[in-house]
């Protein structure tokens, strides 16, 4: 009899323990879901791909570009990380290159902060839409080569409003690829890293161009600041050759 009583008591203890553990688990789960709900309401979740429209329009004063987001994956990823993707689409700037061709060449400027924008080069032809990510920066201007096969794109980088450095990126329009400089040293100084001010630039022929920059021995900030503050800025010309992509 005593043995049966002990077995019954053990059974009751085990059942009670199981009920208590289950109750605590449910309590923790409820608290976790409440916390996640509060975080979602206060911070917001990124857009899922299914919530984005398939076709969007980017509009400026002179043109409208219709895009399938699947053709511009870099831009699509950016929109997926935005709380309000439609506002970001409306803020996206469009610049259409004046190229006498059946293809359309455009540059999208988006995700702009106080000092830089992301840039995407977009080509639209009979086959479809193709895109090329370009450097972040302030897109200043561009110049097409005489045969309309290449374009030089100038980006500016301000340092406290006192010093401005620039880079020049060359793009092959047909291949939609960045064209490297023939000189790695010049490429480092004038395309890969904002180092010098680029006062002006111009094509010589379809493979060569010139850059006007500061006539200084060093590009240190204090030296450049004095140069910008001066009323007599000495400049020098640099000739750059592009590497063929053929």
DSSP code for 69: G
Torsion of the alpha carbons at 35, 38, 43 and 47, rounded to the nearest 10: 90
Q: In whole angstroms, what is the distance from residue 100 CA to residue 174 CA?
A: 13
Length of the chain: 246
Contacts of 145 (CB under 8 A, 6+ apart): 151, 152, 203, 206
- What is the reported pTM? 0.79
Chain centroid, CA 46 distance in Å = 17
Among candidate residues 153, 130, 155, the one with its CA nearest the CA of residue 142: 153
Please report which confidence band the pLDDT of residue 207 belongs to, taking 50, 70 and 90 as the band edges.
very high
Of the candidate ranges 64-78, 141-155, 192-206, the one whose mean pLDDT is the lowest: 64-78
Higher-confidence residue of 71 and 244: namely 71
CB 209 within 8 A of CB 183: no
Percentage of the chain modeled with pLDDT above 90: 66
Asked if pLDDT for residue 18 goes beyond 90, the answer is no
């Amino acid at each position: 009899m005593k043995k049966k009583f002990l077995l019954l008591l053990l059974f009751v203890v085990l059942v009670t323990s199981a009920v208590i553990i289950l109750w605590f688990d449910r309590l923790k789960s409820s608290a976790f879901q409440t916390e996640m709900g509060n975080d979602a309401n206060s911070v917001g979740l990124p857009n899922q791909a299914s919530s984005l429209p398939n076709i969007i329009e980017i509009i400026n004063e002179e043109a409208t570009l219709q895009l399938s987001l699947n053709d511009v994956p870099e831009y699509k990823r950016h929109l997926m990380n935005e709380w309000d993707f439609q506002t970001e689409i409306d803020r996206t700037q469009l610049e259409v290159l004046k190229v006498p061709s059946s293809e359309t060449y455009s540059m999208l400027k988006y995700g702009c902060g106080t000092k830089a924008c992301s840039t995407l080069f977009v080509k639209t032809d009979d086959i479809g839409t193709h895109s090329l990510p370009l450097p972040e920066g302030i897109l200043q201007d561009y110049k097409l080569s005489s045969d309309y096969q290449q374009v030089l794109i100038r980006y500016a980088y301000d340092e406290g409003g006192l010093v401005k450095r620039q880079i020049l990126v060359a793009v092959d329009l047909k291949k939609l690829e960045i064209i490297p400089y023939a000189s790695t040293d010049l490429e480092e100084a004038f395309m890969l890293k904002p180092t010098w001010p680029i006062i002006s630039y111009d094509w010589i022929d379809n493979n060569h161009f010139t850059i006007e920059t500061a006539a200084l021995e060093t590009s240190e900030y204090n030296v450049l600041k004095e140069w910008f503050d001066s009323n007599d800025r000495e400049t020098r010309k640099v000739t750059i050759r592009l590497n063929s992509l053929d």
